Structure 1
Amino acid sequence: MAVPKKRTSKSKKNLRKTVWKKKALKQAVQAFYIADRIAKKETNEKLTNLQLNDQKEDS
């Protein structure tokens, strides 16, 4: 016959939750910084292209 497992203490449950939340937060921050770098790179490329086009038109 199946025997129920022992109940996990509240402190162990909270500890596991905290570890999971810290990992998730770290991943979210990392993803944000990567997206920010990509966005800035694309913006810089667009500005450079616009400046080059303006210089060509002036010449």
Structure 2
Amino acid sequence: MAVPKKKTSKSKRNKRRATWKHQAAVQAQKALSLGKSVLTNRSNSFEYPSDDDEDDEE
């Protein structure tokens, strides 16, 4: 027969949610930082074609 699972404590639930939200906040901060660096042309970790490269190919 099926046996009910034990109830998860509120502290465990809150800890899991806090971890999940923290990871999301860290990823959002990294994305914002990368976007700002791309806009200011200071990015070292993001490769994208510049307008000069397109003119040279034609």
| TM superposition score category, shorter chain reference | 0.5 to 0.7
Please list every run of at least 4 consecutive aligned residues from structure 1 whose deviation after the TM superposition is greater than 2 angstroms: none
TM-score (norm: length of structure 2): 0.68
Give the total of aligned pairs.
Answer: 44
Unaligned runs of 5+ in 2: 42-49, 53-58
Bigger helix share: 1
Q: Aligned ranges for residues 24-43 of structure 1 at < 5 Å?
A: 24-41=24-41
Q: Per chain length, whose mean CA-contact separation is higher, i.e. which structure has more relative contact order (CA < 8 Å, sep 6+)?
A: 2
TM-score (norm: length of structure 1): 0.66
Quote the RMSD (CA, aligned, Å): 1.8
Aligned residue in 1 for 2:5: 5
Higher alpha-carbon Rg:
1
Q: Percent of pairs identical after alignment?
A: 43
